[in-house]
Amino acid sequence: MKRSDINHIKSQAEEFIRSFGTVLPPFADWSPDQLRSAQAKNIRDRGLGWDITDYGQGRFDELGLFLFTLRNGDVRDLANGQGMLYAEKLLVSRDKQLSPMHRHVVKAEDIINRGGGDLIMEIYASDTQGGIDRETPVVVPSDGCPVTIQPGELMRLKPGQSVTLMPGIWHAFWAEKGDCLIGEVSTVNDDRTDNIFEDPIPRFATIEEDATPDFLLVADY
């Protein structure tokens, strides 16, 4: 991805988020120098802030995602079972923009349609080797109620609706009927190690530095 495109995508996403009355934390406006400072060490260490990815494929409008990590704990605390064991993100999925099929090893997450278009979820269980089981129905909680998803069936989340995905549940998603603002509340998150994709693609974008960055991405840390 070109840095100039990343700067532009971030501005568009900020405007979309504000349209729902959502205000981001102060560090969302920090300059690259501020994010490189000692004051921002915890922000960098925990991967807070802006994240824009095309999964290394160069087709952001078709295959990509915008994310902002609002808060995140330390994965080392999971072994002790105490501490800040949770994370929260805001995501923007553009209309028909695919976030590709993947699962998590550790992370359980609630995916919440916070507004805009419909959020379409494609969901499968894992087989005994950790691959995708496309033959067996899977049961997932949705707003406190169990929902059975048949193989190949798509789950449509209207604004306000959510689904809970436990580790090992394969999922892909995209928006329909307009761009979608998504909330994610999860176990403490490590995007460097906890994303297993069906296809061998990277989690973060490769960046072409054709412009000065207006801000830093999590991947820049």
Give the model confidence (pLDDT) of 150-205 as tens digits: 999 999 999 999 999 999 999 999 999 999 999 999 999 999 999 999 999 999 99
Q: If DSSP codes are grouped into helix, strand and coil, which group holds residue 77?
A: helix
Task: Supply 51's token pair.
Answer: 């994240």
- The pLDDT of residue 31 is 97
Q: Which domain holds residue 193?
A: 3-220
Rg (CA), the chain: 17
66: domain CATH number?
A: 2.60.120.10
* Per-residue model confidence as pLDDT tens for the chain (221 residues): 999 999 999 999 999 999 999 999 999 999 999 999 999 999 999 999 999 999 999 999 999 999 999 999 999 999 999 999 999 999 999 999 999 999 999 999 999 999 999 999 999 999 999 999 999 999 999 999 999 999 999 999 999 999 999 999 999 999 999 999 999 999 999 999 999 999 999 999 999 999 999 999 999 99
Cα separation, 201 vs 188, in Å, equals 23
Q: How many residues does the chain have?
A: 221
CA-nearest of 152, 133, 155 to 142 is: 155
State the pTM of this model: 0.96
- Residues contacting residue 45 through CB under 8 Å, at least 6 positions apart: 74
- The pLDDT of residue 39 is 97
Q: How many domains does the chain have?
A: 1
